[in-house]
């Protein structure tokens, strides 16, 4: 892929595939960035859905300052407590049993899943531990017109009590001790680009108006388009990498192929508007109160 130098910024953008992912150069996320540079990074993120910055040395304060240039930060997580003194941080730590080897869009069991996520790699196993992202907008466009029309009219209930937690959360009892459910459109309209994309993943439980078996079949069928390799990009981490993804138009899968080796990253997320479907109808919370999480703090 050809590297592009964005005028007046010194920022380079090198696409990794035609459908998803780009590596960003010429940016030191630990220092002050002018508005033009931030706008260029944001434009690359919206276009490529997930972007990567190598060799970034940031502590919590610097990472928070960088992420805040893209919006108000959420709290660390609606279920887990954040580390003391770092209220916006979610530690993704394999020693704590945290892994996400299941296709998902972050926190879709709440009414307002975050807009953007910033994951800073701190410890990487010697082999394995890659992450794969899928472009949910490209996946939607790849579907036959009749199937897109069908999906446009669907609503899906997402829950924290789901197959995702069965497979990937060791302390499952704590994770589901408070129930969270939200009803989302199966196809959401991006608030900045206007693109339509599939809103699915491991938290999706049932399709409104359909029984359990039909719901599983519909979700599985739509998910099959999302996870096609053609719509994906795979990133091989190095310590210091930052991955930034548009949680409003992607799903991802953290590959658990590193055994008992240690893996840790630090994630911050940015507040998003409530998702809206093709018909203009917004998502809604069914169970659980995440007001404080989504309000975040500046």
DSSP conformation letters of 145-183: HHHHHHHHT-EEEEESSSHHHHHHBSSHHHHTSS--EEE
- pLDDT tens column, 231-286: 999 999 999 999 999 999 999 999 999 999 999 999 999 999 999 999 999 999 99
Q: Does residue 69 carry a catalytic annotation? A: no
User: Residues 112, 120, 264, 267: which is the catalytic one?
Assistant: 267
Which is catalytic among the residues 90, 102, 104, 184? 104
Active site residue 106: yes
Catalytic residue among 90, 106, 196, 246: 106
> What are the pLDDT digits (tens) for 30-88?
989 999 999 999 999 999 999 999 999 999 999 999 999 999 999 999 888 888 899 99
The verdict on whether 287 is a catalytic residue reads: no
Domain ranges of the chain: 4-295
Q: Classify residue 162 by burial, with Cβ atoms within 10 Å: 0-12, 13-18, 19+.
A: buried
102 catalytic? Reply is no
Predicted pLDDT of residue 234: 98
Residue with tokens 């009590």: 161
The answer to whether 119 and 267 have CB atoms below 8 angstroms apart is yes
Classified by CATH at the fold level, domain 4-295 comes out as Double-stranded beta-helix (3.60.130)
């Amino acid at each position: 892929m050809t590297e592009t130098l964005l005028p007046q910024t010194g920022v380079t953008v090198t696409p990794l595939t035609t459908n998803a992912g780009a590596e960003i150069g010429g940016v030191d996320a630990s220092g002050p960035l002018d508005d033009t540079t931030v706008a260029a990074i944001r434009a690359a993120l919206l276009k490529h859905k997930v972007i990567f910055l190598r060799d970034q040395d940031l502590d919590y304060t610097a990472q928070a300052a960088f992420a805040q240039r893209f919006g108000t930060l959420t709290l660390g997580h609606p279920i887990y407590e954040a580390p003391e003194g770092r209220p916006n941080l979610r530690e993704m730590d394999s020693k704590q049993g945290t892994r996400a080897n299941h296709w998902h869009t972050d926190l879709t069991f709440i009414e307002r899943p975050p807009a953007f996520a910033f994951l800073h790699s701190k410890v990487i196993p010697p082999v394995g531990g890659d992450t794969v992202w899928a472009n949910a907008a490209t996946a939607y466009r790849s579907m036959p017109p009749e199937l897109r029309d069908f999906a446009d009219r669907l609503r899906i209930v997402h829950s924290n009590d789901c197959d995702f937690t069965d497979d990937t959360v060791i302390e499952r009892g704590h994770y589901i001790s408070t129930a969270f459910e939200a009803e989302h459109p199966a196809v959401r309209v991006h608030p900045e680009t206007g693109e339509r994309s599939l809103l699915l993943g491991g938290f999706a439980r049932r399709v409104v108006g359909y029984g359990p078996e039909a719901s599983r079949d519909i979700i599985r069928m739509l998910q099959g388009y999302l996870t096609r390799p053609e719509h994906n990009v795979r990133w091989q981490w190095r310590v210091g990498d930052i991955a930034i993804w548009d949680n409003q138009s992607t799903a991802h899968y953290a590959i658990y192929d590193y055994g008992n080796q240690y893996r840790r990253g630090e994630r911050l997320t940015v507040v998003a508007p409530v998702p809206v479907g093709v018909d203009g109808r917004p998502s809604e919370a069914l169970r659980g109160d995440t007001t404080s999480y989504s309000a975040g703090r500046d």
